């Protein structure tokens, strides 16, 4: 320590005083940030203040809860603790916590997965507690492989740190296998018999890329897994939960470990809280906190940070919780479903930098589980409330738009007085909702929830919260005139008409056949939502539909298919799917040349060409379209990312979406693009010709996620129109006219992005 350290402490103290007394803001990050600028070794300089050691808590979900609960347990056991309790989990947050603290026994620090590499080498923590790894903010942090490499690198720089990891997660187990650090494994050692969600983040062996087999799954990729090829499997558990009981009133389990056993219970719901408590117990046991002290900490645990926090608003019990990725939202939905009574649920979603700009992941959430719940009111809020409303619509839920939590409570008058409210918010949406619920909870019931009239959403004079649009429905689609190669007029708007969503008397029963290729592998960015949209838009017109989910290793006769969907996936999964696709090459070529309809997104779009980018390698493609994809200078880190708007012959409205790709695609001479970039922020196929995607016969390929079709219903109907023409030829049935649908919700979501990009 020297002048640099002294200067760092001085500027930290001044900035802390200014933030608290002048700007009246919390000083959780900035003092550490300026201190690190002055002295990059400030964490290492302050680490000796921790007399007994430190614990870093890392993982996608549950970090803040586990960090606070472990710190509480240590304090209950009489230890002095330094902790970044507010969730300021970058190096600046850890530095700030240390700068503000005096000498202590233990440090317990929440650490961002990618920032652990900047914290652990300086802190040299005794333990790193790895909770789980799920896809989260793909546009910011990239694929999970990158996170694994970063965590493994951090551990290599602190070789004496013991890795305490979730062995039920193959992604965590792969890190433990890779590093040379001491390890301790925890997991749930029995089948909880939980219903499974649609999308799981890790289907393949981390060693050899074979599909994993499961004796049982808990949720996501967590469970008892093994690879039938190389033997990679869940490690033996050092700390195990057994005799797990999950109920609406709480949970309990028996914890077994090398130092003893414990019976733990908590008034929380959800399987994910079993893992959070088990992880806390595993770490507490290692730092010599007794089971009795941990149980007392659990009993007294009263989070005030919006994580599983209870409020009483207008006499209604209200639960607020954070969810920032599909797994988190799905686990919250499980909690909501335990309440069998009438209830209101609000989802607040932002897309600020801390959240990730891409909201495609909303379509990987199983909102459908809420459909059909009696006495359920659903609300959509946050910056991207229009996207939430569209997603809920296609899940069978009619959501009202709200600007804040007050608007939600003002619209709950029709529900019984004992109906509960659930508010789920993502990262940056949580603080304002948390603050508002705190304010409402302090007001009299009439002030909080007794408004005499419902607030009006922007552009909604009815006050119902539903999106309004003067051009909500498209005109009936003349199938033969729909443009697929750019030489025909786009669909125009018209007045909405009623649709009874039932087949007309005597309607032909031959279903429209949609093949979703390899959804078990190619499931990034919520692109499966495109299939949901196509299916629903056909059914609402009384057209029978059958969706074939063609998983890895399965075969489909494309002669019996009218529309094929092909998405993108992580590199490991995409490589395996490409082997299946190359075996289908001749069938796909015949299908395309016979005017079969094909929608391909991102990696699925790339493989249509003669060459495409698989990881960092350019490999042979299907050759269905004259185009190639090459590696960008600088490799996969040089990505084209952001919201984008296009003008396409397939839609009169501007087409909006989100792109995130490292490949640079070049179309052959005379090959038509899906659309031309109409926004200043969009890149397109290669960032030079300002065109995105491809159109060839009835093939549409694009880099647009979002997913593509929910906010661009005219494109969806263009694809359906051509698919119905193929069905007519295949099955010998008449070609129906596509009746217009009420697309007010979809068009409002489109308009929001379009206006944001100034792409009117």
User: 494 has which bridge partners?
Assistant: 473
Rounded Cα distance, 607 and 94, in Å: 44
- Tokens at 749, concatenated: 């979501």
Q: Reading across the β-sheet that carries 316-322, which strands appear in turn?
A: 309-313, 316-322, 420-425, 343-348, 376-381, 399-401
Burial-class residue 417 by CB neighbours within 10 Å (0-12, 13-18, 19+). Answer: exposed
Given the residues 112, 364, 705, 743, select the one marked as catalytic: 705
Rounded Cα distance, 597 and 617, in Å: 29
How large is the greatest C-alpha to C-alpha distance in the chain, in angstroms?
88
What is the DSSP code (8-state) at residue 210? Answer: P
Q: At what angle do helices 529-539 and 713-731 cross, to 10 degrees?
A: 70
Tokens 């659930």 correspond to 422
- Tokens at 632, concatenated: 């960008």
705 is catalytic: yes
281-305: burial string, b at 16+ Cβ within 10 Å, e else: bbbbbbbebebebbbebbeebebeb
Tokens 């007029």 correspond to 489
Rounded Cα distance, 365 and 548, in Å: 20
Given the residues 201, 355, 358, 692, select the one marked as catalytic: 358
Tokens 């600007």 correspond to 403
Cis before 370 (ω within 30): no
Region at 465 (left for phi over 0; alpha for psi -120 to 50; beta for the rest): left
Q: What phi, psi does 224 have (nearest 5°)?
A: -100, 105
User: 696 has which bridge partners?
Assistant: 699
656-666: burial string, b at 16+ Cβ within 10 Å, e else: bbbbbbbbbbb
To the nearest 5 percent, what fractions of the chain are helix, strand and coil?
35, 25, 45
Tokens 């002294």 correspond to 6
The neighbour count for residue 692, using CB atoms within 10 Å, is 28
Known binding-site positions for Zn(2+): 205, 208, 227, 230
**Interacting residues of 453 by C-beta distance below 8 A, sequence separation 6+:** 410, 463
Rounded Cα distance, 100 and 88, in Å: 14
Known binding-site positions: 205, 208, 227, 230, 639
Radius of gyration of the chain (CA): 27
* Dihedral of alpha carbons 460, 466, 467, 473, sign: negative
Known binding-site positions for substrate: 639
- Tokens at 514, concatenated: 């949609």
203-224: burial string, b at 16+ Cβ within 10 Å, e else: bbbbeeeebbebeebbbbbbbb
Tokens 């492989």 correspond to 145
**Interacting residues of 371 by C-beta distance below 8 A, sequence separation 6+:** 395, 396, 397
Rounded Cα distance, 524 and 567, in Å: 8
Rounded Cα distance, 421 and 185, in Å: 37
Rounded Cα distance, 297 and 612, in Å: 54
User: 239 has which bridge partners?
Assistant: 186
Burial-class residue 44 by CB neighbours within 10 Å (0-12, 13-18, 19+). Answer: middle
Rounded Cα distance, 694 and 671, in Å: 7
Give alpha helix (H) positions in 540-643. 571-583, 585-593, 603-606
Given the residues 136, 139, 602, 743, select the one marked as catalytic: 602
- Just list the catalytic residues: 358, 602, 705
């Amino acid at each position: 320590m020297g002048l640099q350290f002294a200067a760092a402490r001085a500027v930290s103290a001044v900035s802390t005083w200014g933030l608290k007394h002048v700007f009246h803001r919390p000083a959780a990050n900035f003092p550490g940030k300026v201190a690190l600028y002055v002295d990059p070794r400030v964490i290492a300089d302050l680490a000796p203040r921790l007399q007994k050691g430190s614990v870093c808590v890392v993982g996608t979900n549950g970090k803040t809860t586990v960090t606070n609960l472990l710190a509480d347990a240590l304090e209950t056991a009489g230890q002095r603790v330094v902790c970044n309790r507010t969730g300021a989990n970058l190096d600046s947050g850890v530095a700030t916590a240390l700068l503000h603290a005096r000498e202590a026994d233990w440090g317990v620090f929440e650490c961002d997965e990618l920032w652990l590499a900047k914290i652990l080498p300086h802190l040299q923590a005794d333990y790193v507690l790895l909770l789980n790894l799920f896809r989260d903010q793909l546009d910011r942090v990239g694929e999970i492989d990158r996170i694994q490499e970063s965590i493994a690198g951090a551990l290599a720089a602190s070789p004496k740190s013991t890795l305490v990891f979730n062995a039920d997660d193959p992604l965590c187990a792969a890190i433990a296998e890779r590093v040379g650090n001491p390890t301790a494994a925890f997991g749930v050692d029995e089948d909880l018999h939980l219903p499974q969600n649609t999308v799981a983040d890790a289907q393949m062996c981390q060693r050899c890329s074979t599909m994993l087999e499961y004796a049982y799954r808990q949720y996501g990729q967590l469970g008892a897994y093994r690879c039938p090829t190389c033997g990679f499997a869940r490690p033996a558990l050092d700390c195990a939960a057994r005799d797990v009981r999950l109920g609406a009133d709480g949970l309990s389990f028996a914890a077994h470990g090398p130092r003893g056993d414990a019976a733990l219970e908590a008034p929380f719901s959800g399987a994910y809280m079993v893992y959070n408590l088990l992880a806390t117990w595993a770490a507490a046991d290692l730092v010599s906190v007794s089971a009795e002290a941990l149980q007392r900490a659990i009993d007294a645990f009263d989070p005030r940070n919006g994580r599983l926090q209870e409020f009483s608003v207008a006499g209604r019990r209200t639960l607020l919780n954070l969810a920032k990725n599909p797994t988190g939202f799905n686990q919250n939905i499980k909690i909501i479903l335990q309440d069998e009574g009438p209830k209101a649920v609000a989802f607040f979603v932002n897309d600020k930098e801390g959240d990730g700009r891409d909201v495609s992941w909303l379509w990987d959430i199983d909102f459908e589980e809420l459909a059909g719940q009696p006495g359920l009111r659903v609300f959509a809020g946050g910056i991207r409330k229009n996207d939430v409303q569209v997603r809920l619509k296609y899940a069978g839920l009619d959501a009202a738009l709200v600007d804040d939590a007050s608007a939600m409570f003002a619209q709950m008058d029709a529900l019984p007085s004992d109906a509960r409210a659930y508010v789920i918010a993502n990262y940056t949406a949580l603080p304002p909702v948390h603050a508002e619920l705190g304010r409402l909870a302090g007001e009299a019931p009439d002030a909080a929830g007794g408004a005499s009239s419902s607030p009006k959403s922007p552009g909604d004079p009815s006050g119902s919260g539903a999106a309004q649009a003067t051009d909500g429905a498209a005109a009936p689609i003349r199938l033969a005139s729909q443009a697929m190669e750019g030489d025909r007029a786009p669909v125009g708007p018209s007045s909405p008409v009623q649709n009874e969503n039932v087949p007309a008397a005597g309607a032909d029963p031959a279903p429209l056949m949609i093949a979703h290729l390899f959804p078990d592998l190619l499931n990034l960015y919520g692109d499966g939502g495109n299939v949901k949209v196509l299916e629903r838009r056909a059914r609402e017109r009384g057209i029978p539909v059958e969706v074939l989910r063609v998983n890895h290793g399965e075969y489909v006769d494309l002669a019996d298919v009218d529309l094929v969907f092909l998405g993108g996936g992580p590199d490991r999964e995409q490589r395996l799917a490409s082997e299946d696709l190359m075996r289908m090459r001749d069938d796909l070529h015949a299908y395309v040349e016979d005017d079969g309809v094909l929608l391909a997104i991102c990696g699925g779009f790339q493989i249509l060409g003669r060459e495409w980018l698989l990881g960092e390698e350019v490999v042979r493609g299907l050759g269905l379209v004259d185009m190639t994809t090459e590696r960008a200078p600088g490799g996969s880190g040089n990505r084209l990312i952001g919201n984008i708007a296009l003008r396409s012959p397939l839609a009169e409205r501007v087409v909006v979406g989100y792109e995130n790709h490292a490949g640079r695609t070049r179309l052959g001479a005379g090959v038509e693009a899906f659309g031309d970039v109409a926004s200043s922020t969009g890149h397109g196929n290669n960032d030079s010709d300002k065109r995105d995607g491809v159109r060839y016969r009835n093939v549409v390929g694009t880099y647009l996620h979002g997913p593509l079709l929910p906010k661009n219903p005219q494109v969806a109907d263009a694809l359906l129109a051509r698919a119905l023409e193929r069905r007519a030829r295949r099955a010998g049935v008449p070609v129906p006219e596509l009746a217009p649908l009420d697309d007010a919700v979809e068009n409002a979501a489109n308009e929001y992005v379009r206006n944001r990009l100034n792409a009117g």
